[in-house]
Amino acid sequence: MPEGFLDTPFGRIRKPGGVGISLPGNLLANYIYDHHEPIRALFVNSGNPVLSIGGEAAMREALSSLELLVCVDIYRNATAEYADYVLPAAGAFEREDINITGIGLQFEPSVQFTEAMVPPAYERKPDWWIYEKLCQAMNLQSAFDVDENPNMWARVDAMLRSQGRSMRELRAENIIALERSRPEEFYDRYLQHEDKHVDCCPEIFAEAQTRMEEIFVDLETAPTDQLKLISKRDQYMMNSWYSNLPKLKRRDRDRNYLFMHPLDAEKRQVVDGSEVTVSNQHGTISAPVRLTDELMPGVVAMTHGWGHRDAKGMRVAGEKHGVNCNALLPSGPGSFEPLSNQAHMTGIPVEVKPLAATA
């Protein structure tokens, strides 16, 4: 097989590149099935690829083929139903924590530390403890080789010391504000060209421009009544994290609706509250309709993160499971933007029909 390619049941595909270090989740099934270097074991940490990645059917089949699947999480979610082991992680209030997601994005740079509020219940352990203990059991280098109570904030302490602060101070103050960098430092520190200029259109952009032109042609030539599915966000679901919380599944929040403009519904003889099928070349789902004029005509929307029908380890989510709209998303080669490795998850062509018309 040529270097830089994967050979899978879905065909030979080029390994992704792009400007980031993250691989596209849409190729996970392809990597598992690679004939030459297949993935035989997988650890999933606080994730739910069965419902969060496009192509649910392919993902379920791929996970079923693994020789070992281990999930580290606070729930046995839809993905963990395929796991050989589910290791109980400590919850957000059961462990010390430092904010990571927002670092580098604040107007005023800062680092924040929070103490554990309660001791971990039952046998729950922080994620780092689980992985370090696994390394120790496998005779690999582990933080426990030196100390049975390792300092897991040593790296953070070193970073703080570079700014004249320390982990001891952070524990005492909870939050430390750092000096803002000067915008011109970007040019001094990070530009790698000898001329210190920014190349605004490198060669890697050429293929992206061609793809962009093809997308615009597809949009211009699409039927005038073609519906496009977008992802809807609300305060009752964050990815699939809130699926098992009873307080967030009351009244009409016990399912995810297909939101639709009244004009589009009238053309398809669809009424508010009725059941419809939503389908395309990637899959078919059924969902209730909620009409709204807050959407543009031609656009339909659904909240993702639902679809825990078979998740026996999540009682509330299993009872009020809704449907996984990501089953309508493309997966595999061509289903992501190669420059960023981001999946195509919005503007997806779909057909909507009354459920009775498809029975």
- pLDDT for position 20: 47
- The 3-state DSSP class for residue 128 equals helix
Phi, psi angle pair for 350, to nearest 5°: -140, 160
List 343's β-bridge partners, or say none.
336
Domain covering 40-177, topology: Rossmann fold (3.40.50)
- pLDDT for position 287: 96
Distance CA 355, CA 302 (A): 17
pLDDT in tens, 275-329: 999 999 999 999 999 999 999 999 999 999 999 998 899 999 999 999 999 999 9
Dihedral angle computed from the Cα positions of residues 131, 135, 138 and 144, in that order, rounded to the nearest 10 degrees: -120
Provide the token pair at 138. Answer: 């496998």
The CA angle 310-331-212, to the nearest 5 degrees, is 145
193 or 117, which is more confident? 117
DSSP 219-251: HHHS-TT-EEEEEE-BTTBSTTTTTT-GGGS-G
- pLDDT for position 1: 40
Q: Residues 9-17: what's their mean pLDDT?
A: 54
The full set of domain ranges for the chain reads 40-177, 224-358
Whether residue 8 is predicted with pLDDT greater than 60 in this model: the reply is no
Q: Best-predicted range by mean pLDDT among 17-31, 178-192, 211-225, 250-264?
A: 250-264
- pLDDT for position 24: 84
C-alpha distance across the termini of the chain, in Å: 46
pLDDT in tens, 48-92: 999 999 999 999 999 999 999 999 999 999 999 999 999 999 999
Provide the token pair at 111. Answer: 């680092």
Provide the token pair at 279. Answer: 């389908």
- pLDDT for position 227: 97
Q: Best-predicted range by mean pLDDT among 16-20, 97-101, 213-217?
A: 213-217
The CA angle 339-341-344, to the nearest 5 degrees, is 105
Of the chain, the percentage scoring pLDDT greater than 70 comes to: 92
Reported as a pLDDT band with limits 50, 70 and 90, residue 19 is: very low
Reported as a pLDDT band with limits 50, 70 and 90, residue 99 is: confident
Question: To which H or E segment does residue 357 belong?
Answer: helix 355-358
pLDDT in tens, 107-163: 788 899 999 999 999 999 999 999 999 999 999 999 999 888 898 899 999 999 998
Task: Look at 5-19, 32-46, 229-243 and tell me which has the smallest mean pLDDT.
Answer: 5-19
Provide the token pair at 268. Answer: 């398809």
For the chain, give the mean pLDDT. Answer: 88
- pLDDT for position 131: 96
Sign of the torsion angle spanned by Cα atoms 191, 197, 200, 205:
negative
Other CB atoms closer than 10 Å to residue 153's CB: what's the count?
A: 16
pLDDT in tens, 200-249: 888 878 888 888 899 899 888 989 899 999 999 888 888 888 899 999 99
- pLDDT for position 7: 58
Q: Class for domain 224-358, per CATH?
A: mainly beta
Reported as a pLDDT band with limits 50, 70 and 90, residue 16 is: low
- pLDDT for position 3: 53
Domains 40-177 and 224-358 in one fold: no
Strands 41-45 and 68-73: parallel
